Amino acid sequence: MTDVMLLWETPLLFEKLFVEYGIKCQRVPAESISTPFLPPCRCLILPTGFANPAYTSTLKSVARNKNKIENFLQKGGAVVIFGPMVPEHGYDWLPFELKYVQEQGYGTVQRVPGYEDLCVIDKHATEVEYDGYFLNTDAKVVLKDANNRPLMIIKDVGKGKVIACSIHEFPSKDFLQCIVEMSSSCKI
């Protein structure tokens, strides 16, 4: 069984992080979502740059398979989304409203109490690099920048969770292990 599927076409440095953390990870092209051959997994991850055609064609397949992604979430899977790396992005392939605005920054972040286990950054980190912020959502805010703009949100969808994050750093081991442990293994 695979714990995490990275939706991307080519090798990423990001993959080495999962090996280091002891988390079973498989990189698959997003167009594989529409095939019956993918094994079950607990979490889908869209790495930074997923919406930028200069980096990948991932977004086309993700948008085309939005019903399968929603079904995966309903059954208890998790979808973790990093910054799209485009000036603006509307997540019309998600089953709730969310908008991203690109704005590179570095600074102090504010943690919202109650989500310490689901925070992408190490519990001792106070300053991070980020690539944008979120707007127009009823999702729960986990991290905010100094201007109170959401940098990380969580939204329950069925038995699963969507976690969107604009933090431009590798996620912590605790965060990734928490996502794997709390999610159900299911087919997409």
User: 83-103 pLDDT, tens per residue?
Assistant: 999 999 999 999 999 999 999
DSSP state, 48? Answer: T
Query: Around 155, how many Cα atoms within 13 Å sit in the side-chain half-sphere?
Result: 22
Strands 88-90 and 140-144: unpaired
Residue 106 lies in a domain: yes
User: 102-111 pLDDT, tens per residue?
Assistant: 999 999 999 9
Residue 169 lies in a domain: yes
Residue 187 lies in a domain: no
Residue 152 lies in a domain: yes
We report the CATH number of the domain holding residue 121 as: 3.40.50.880
E-strand ranges in 61-149 read: 78-81, 88-90, 99-108, 110-111, 127-135, 140-144
Low-confidence ranges of the chain (pLDDT < 50): none
Q: How many domains does the chain have?
A: 1
Residue 27 lies in a domain: yes
Q: Please report the pLDDT score of residue 1 as a whole number.
A: 74
* Distance from chain centroid for Cα 150: 14
Q: Which two tokens stand for residue 117?
A: 């286990």
Domain with 33, as residue range(s), is 4-182
Residue 188 lies in a domain: no
pTM of the model: 0.96
Report helix, strand or coil for 43. Answer: strand
Q: Please report the pLDDT score of residue 115 as a whole number.
A: 79
Give, in degrees to the nearest 5, the angle at Cα 128 between 118 and 144.
Answer: 60
Any residues with CB less than 8 A from the CB of 96 and at least 6 apart, and which? 137, 138, 139, 155, 157, 162
Strands 160-165 and 78-81: parallel
Residue 28 lies in a domain: yes
